[in-house]
Amino acid sequence: MKEKLIFDYTRPGKTGVLCSGPAGSPERHLPADLIRKDYANLPEVSEVETVRHFTRLSQLNYGVDSGFYPLGSCTMKYNPKINEKTASLEGFAGLHPMIPDSLAQGALRLICELQEYLCRITGMQACSLQPAAGASGEFTGLLMMRRWHQVKGTAHKNEIIIPDSAHGTNPASVALTGFRVVEVKSNSQGWVDIEALKQVVNENTAGLMITNPNTLGLFDGNIRQVADIIHAAGGLVHYDGANLNAIMGKCRPFDMGFDIVHMNLHKTFSTPHGGGGPGSGPVTVTKELRDFLPGPIAARSGDSFFMDHDLKHTIGKVTGFHGNFAVMVKAYTYIRMLGSAGLKAASETAVLNANYLLKLLDQHLKRDFPQFCMHEFVLSGRELPNGVHTLDIAKRLLDYGYHAPTIYFPLIVKEAIMIEPTETESLETLDAFASTMVRICEEAAANPELLKQAPVSTPVRRLDEVNAARKPVLCA
């Protein structure tokens, strides 16, 4: 441990930020048995020590601002600083969520316009910004399907089809919403296997959830046919927008036949990932599904804006208030900066960067799919020599000062290495990363121990995860 725990700085009597209490004891207002006896084992540390403690912790971290972060499926693009500034403007940050609409016109306009922008981008007709992240958006979409079938009199439909390449949240959301997961195979091209799909579609099919480009970084050219098959069976189709960064301005989920789309503002729209969150997972839908959205949603009436609570079939609320508003401010800022042409350029460049990097790497690691990739690609470490694994490549990259790519996902590629450079990286960065990867592959052949022992230059080395789970210590 490079930095001791905050609790280890405690000395009784020290206080941090001055904050005065009232005169008189709380017993004036409360019976003693409602008051805590131990006053909690909270730290007693000065402000300067607290600031230094967390500053040192920050220095043990690696963010997008530290360097290249090619974490596939997560779209770790640069987070513009202007976003941070606008989201912390007092008129936004100090705004109470229960304030009357008339006193929040700026916030409501922003929400309403962001809803409209996201509809433009996806081709859909209505939007709710309430879901808190991608998985929350999946949950929302699936509950809308459930309600839709109840309203249509097809409530017996209880199966959701997902490709075998799907992210773990997809099946988990399906289970959380009371549906049964039915998996469909991918074909050798990495697309949904149409024959296999026809086999699993039946009268219980409630819908399908899919990412496109899929988690292999490939655009499924049969997508319209996939949607048609589900629609013909009376189901709905949900677009997991984790990979929307590949297609803005190029094509739209609506035209592909989707009924429901969720996006990740923390991926496509440049809002920072916060060390794990907060994200934001807006949902856009066709006009037929508008009344099923979680409400309220923002709406206009002439020049003024209001929260519309009048959604006949709404699934209810998925988060307490309006969702992660400050994240929306950042995404809105980003979209206003780029404009529609800038969004399209972002997607085109993300795809260009990915294909360029793929070209530099595919002679060195196993590549299963010959097509052009979209904004990311998946290689495999399964043919590495000397018992070297994908994990070892990832750890060795840390020694060279990079964040590792996503590894061991998607599950259908053994020893997967999933690389997403994003559009915000320069040619120099891509070239340097590629030569490092090539060098690591050479090390795997010549000196495999370098990889198996890696990392050696990080604040800690490989950690004992087995024991961590066997004898959990979760609290100081």
Partner 1 sequence: MAYIPLTASDREQMLRKIGVASVDELFSDIPEDLRLKSFDWLPPSDERETLSILKGLAEANRAAAEAPCFLGAGAYDHYIPAAVDAICSRSEFYTAYTPYQPEVSQGTLQAIFEFQSLICALTGLAVSNASMYDGPSALGEAVLIASSYTKKQKVLYAESLSPVYLAVVRTYLESGSIELIPVKTARDGRVDPSDLSSKLSADTACLVLQNPNFFGVIEDGAALKKILGPTMLVVCADPNSLGLLAPPGSYGASICVGDCQPLGLPMSFGGPYAGYLAVSNDLMRKLPGRIVGRTVDCDGKTGFVLTLQTREQHIKREKATSNICSNQALCALRSTIYICLLGKTGLKNVSCACLDKAHRMAEAACKNKGFSLRYTSPFYKEFVLDCPSNAAKLAEEVFNRFGILAGVPLSRFNPQDSNGLLISVTEKRTGDEIVGLSAALAQVAGGLK
Binding site for ligand PLP (CB under 6 A): 73-74, 133-135, 167, 169, 211, 215, 240, 242, 264, 279, 281
Residue 141 CB, nearest approach to partner 1 (Å): 12
> What's the rounded Cα separation, in Å, for the pair 363 and 359?
8
Amino acid at 267: K
**Partner from partner 1, ligand PLP, none binding residue 73, C-beta < 5-8 Å depending on class:** ligand PLP
The letter for the amino acid at 99 is I
Report residue 333: phi and psi, to 5°: -60, -45
What DSSP character marks residue 186? B
Judged by beta carbon distances under 5 to 8 A according to partner kind, the member of ligand PLP, partner 1, none in contact with residue 242 is ligand PLP
Instruction: Please tell me whether residue 289 binds partner 1 under the rule CB under 8 A.
Output: no
Separation between Cα atoms, residue 453 and residue 396, nearest integer Å: 8
**In the window 235-274, what residues touch partner 1 (CB under 8 A)?**
247-252, 255-256, 266, 270, 272-274
In angstroms, what CA-CA distances link 231 with 170, 202, 385?
Answer: 20, 11, 47
DSSP string computed for 371-424 = SPPSS-EEEE-TT-STT--HHHHHHHHHHTT----EES-STTSTTEEEE---TT
Binder of residue 240, out of ligand PLP, partner 1, none (CB less than 5 to 8 A by kind): ligand PLP
Least distance (Å) between residue 393 CB and ligand PLP = 20
**Angle of the 427-446 helix axis to the 390-399 helix axis, nearest 10:** 120
Q: How far is CA 109 from CA 16, 115, 297, in A?
A: 40, 10, 11
Answer with the entry of partner 1, ligand PLP, none that 390 interacts with (C-beta below 5 to 8 A by kind): none
For tokens 């048995």, the residue is 33
Tokens 């909270």 identify what position? 42
Taking CB under 8 A as the criterion, the residue among 283, 346, 361, 437 binding partner 1 is 346
- Which of partner 1, ligand PLP, none binds 215 (CB below 5-8 Å, type-dependent)? ligand PLP
The DSSP result for 309-331, as a single string, is: ---TT----SSSSSS-HHHHHHH
Nearest to ligand PLP of 162, 434 (CB atom): 162
The site for partner 1, by CB under 8 A, has a size of 201
Nearest-approach distance from CB 243 to partner 1, in angstroms: 13
State which residue has the least CB distance to ligand PLP: 134
Q: Is 285 left (phi over 0), alpha (psi -120 to 50) or beta?
A: beta
* Site membership for partner 1, residue 370 (CB under 8 A): no
Q: Extract the runs of DSSP E, i.e. beta strands, from 190-279.
A: 205-211, 236-241, 260-263
Helix, strand or coil for residue 192?
strand
Q: Are strands 377-380 and 406-407 parallel, antiparallel or unpaired?
A: unpaired
Nearer to ligand PLP, 72 or 296 (CB): 72
Judged by CB, which is closer to ligand PLP: 135, or 237? 135
Using the rule CB under 8 A, which residue among 125, 286, 371, 436 binds partner 1?
371
Residue 285 CA to residue 297 CA, distance in Å, equals: 13
> Considering only residues 402-461, where is the footprint of partner 1 by CB under 8 A?
403-404, 406, 409, 423-427, 455, 458-461
Q: 304 has which bridge partners?
A: 301
Q: Report, in Å, the least distance between residue 137 CB and partner 1.
A: 10
Q: Is 157 in the site for partner 1 (CB under 8 A)?
A: no
Interactions with partner 1, residue window 72-111 (CB under 8 A): 74, 76-80, 82, 84-100, 103-107, 109-110
Residue 464 touches which of partner 1, ligand PLP, none (CB < 5 to 8 A by kind)?
A: partner 1
In this chain, which of 153, 156, 188, 275 binds partner 1, going by CB under 8 A? 275
Q: Which does 161 bind (CB under 5 to 8 A by kind): ligand PLP, partner 1, none?
A: none
